[in-house]
Amino acid sequence: MSTQENINYERIAEAINYIKLNFKAQPNLDEVAEKVNLSPFHFQRLFTDWVGISPKKFLQYLSLEYAKGILKDKQATLFDTAYETGLSGTSRLHDLFINIEGMTPAEYKNGGKELSINYSFAQSPFGNIIVASTPKGICYMAFADDHADALDQLKQHFPNATYTQVVDLAQQDALFIFKKDWSQLPAIKLHLKGSSFQLKVWEALLKIPMGGLCSYGDISQNIQLPNASRAVGSAIGANPVAFLIPCHRVIRATGESGQYHWGSTRKSAIIGWEAAMLNQPVSI
């Protein structure tokens, strides 16, 4: 993705944030376009190019009513019917091609002293990201608004690992998730440091399909710990792999989006983008 495309996302994010903050006033196209320093024509075209629908339609996917409707839809969670939807098009699910392998204590003891980690920076529809991998798979992926800070945060997970800045095949495969043709996605392996409970929560997140939303309570029910919503929230907040493990699809039972490690505006952008992709006649 070019630098210009990254600038485009920043403008879209600014527009989404402005619309959210001024939702009750229902700002029109001209007002939002002026806020991001574009003519109404160019803003409408930019927004439509980015997500495939108009700003007005996109706003519907961010509404409280829309979120509540998805939560009430039994198909939204798909925990019991995940494998009944098939493999093609928009119904291809994360848990059919993303597999988690937990690190052994020996692999991450002493701050990951025995680990060799490759990392690189890339661009996505939602801004810059850092992605890191071990010989066994992706171990970390995060949105990286500041490269130096993002690298520091990675190294906090494994302070004694050996790091090499290089793009490898595992990283390339992972980045295909941002392409629109999910039918061509290769199997993706994740090699993650986490407790048994965290791994169980992260695996449950993989069952939420694109366009689906669920609550923290839904995840607790799925892992058969109905009273563990708070612990589930902590495990979701500790998710080390942005987007691939779709923690952005977990919202409050009220329909409100709730917190997100990489920013509430980015979470809204991803939820709206996925909803738009799901409702377009394209292969995703």
Known catalytic residues are: 247
For 16, counting Cβ atoms within 10 Å of its Cβ (0-12 exposed, 13-18 middle, 19+ buried), the class is buried
176 to 123, 153, 169, 173, 180: CA distances (angstroms): 12, 24, 11, 5, 9
Amino acid at 32: V
Cα 266 from Cα 260, distance rounded (Å): 8
User: Hunting for tokens 């440091």 — which residue is that?
Assistant: 193
Tell whether the torsion through CA atoms of 189, 195, 196 and 200 is positive or negative.
negative
User: What count of other Cβ atoms lies within 10 Å of the Cβ of residue 238?
Assistant: 15
Pair 114, 160: CB distance under 8 Å:
no
Per-position b or e across 167-179, b if 16+ CB within 10 A of its CB: ebebbebbbebee
189 to 79, 130, 133, 151, 247: CA distances (angstroms): 21, 17, 10, 21, 17
Cα 52 from Cα 165, distance rounded (Å): 34
Which helix (H) or strand (E) element contains residue 133?
strand 127-134
